[in-house]
Structure 1
Amino acid sequence: MSEPLSTDDVHDDPAPYSQGIMTGRTIRLAGQVPDDRDGRIVGTGIESQTRQAVANVEALLAVADATLRDVVSVTAYLVDRGDVDGFNATYAAAFPEPRPARATVIVEDLVVDALVEIQATAVRPAGESPGSAPSALDGSSD
């Protein structure tokens, strides 16, 4: 049975979809753009926008007692091929090793006026206590 995931920490777009769905230990998140809880795009460059989109992914994962360490697959949509290096650097700093499998797609445009959208799938490990991995964005480590 699927359970919808949502949090007030991530802007809830009025479009007809769930912020995330959990089925068993598998968590599938809708694409996350770099908006704050009020729907305003955060930052103007790829690095700041990537950090915010990852923070939104992280906030939704937390609802399911998961972390970035549990992410197994990411699809990233970028509107500018020239942003790939900046995106990769910020992404690498956020996601712990081993990093998830990833596809990066260059698109003409996104639904909102942003540079990046990140969709993630995570699987919570069996028997691992909830929230056992620290946030990769706050600089903490094991």
Structure 2
Amino acid sequence: MKNQIDMGLPEPSQPFAWAISSGEFLFTTHGPVLADGRILQGSTADQAHLTFQHFQSAAKAAGGSMDDYVQLQIFLTDRADVAVVDEIYRLYFRPPYPNRATVIVAGLVVPEMNIEVTGIARIVR
């Protein structure tokens, strides 16, 4: 069975949920979405901070923490942003780091987005 996790973000306009739990697992995907549903217009660093803050919110709402993430996939539109995202990543995640892939893409669903991240956490209560 799956349960939608309410993390306070507006209802997406596309058919998906911000965060879903199933058993001990949390599945979540985020980008730099503001509380009103707009995309943060800013640097990749600012967008990465907001994106990882959403990961914190999702884990907390599901009863866990950032330490519970086991896998992440980071999608970036510019290879030059990898170093800055790695820097910010270290502020939100600590060793042992989640398994991770970083993929450079031609674009994301909203043109102003420079980053989108999907992740899986295992939250044992």
Q: Which amino acid aligns with 2:122?
A: V
Look up the SS of the partner of 1:75 in the other structure. strand
Deviation of 1:41 (Å): 2.4
Please show how residues 78-93 of structure 1 align to structure 2 within 5 Å: 78-93=76-91
Whether 1:67 and 2:65 are equivalent positions in the alignment is yes
Aligned-partner Cα distance in 2 for 1:100–1:43: 28
The number of equivalent residue pairs is 124
Give the root-mean-square deviation of aligned CA atoms: 1.3
Q: Deviations over 1:91-115 (max 9, x none)?
A: 1121122110001110000111211
Aligned structure 1 segments of 4 or more residues deviating by more than 2 angstroms? 40-43
| Alignment-derived partner of residue 6 in structure 2 | 6
Look up the SS of the partner of 2:45 in the other structure. helix
Identity fraction in percent: 27
Aligned-partner Cα distance in 2 for 1:93–1:63: 20
Q: Deviations over 1:4-59 (max 9, x none)?
A: 11222x24312111112111111111x20111111222351121110000011111
Larger RCO (CA under 8 A, 6+ residues apart): 2
Aligned-partner Cα distance in 1 for 2:40–2:70: 26
Look up the SS of the partner of 2:30 in the other structure. coil
Aligned-partner Cα distance in 2 for 1:119–1:98: 18
Please show how residues 1-142 of structure 1 align to structure 2 within 5 Å: 1-8=1-8, 10-29=9-28, 31-112=29-110, 113-125=112-124, 127=125
Look up the SS of the partner of 2:17 in the other structure. coil
Look up the SS of the partner of 2:80 in the other structure. helix
TM-score (norm 2): 0.92
Look up the SS of the partner of 1:91 in the other structure. helix
Aligned-partner Cα distance in 2 for 1:15–1:41: 14
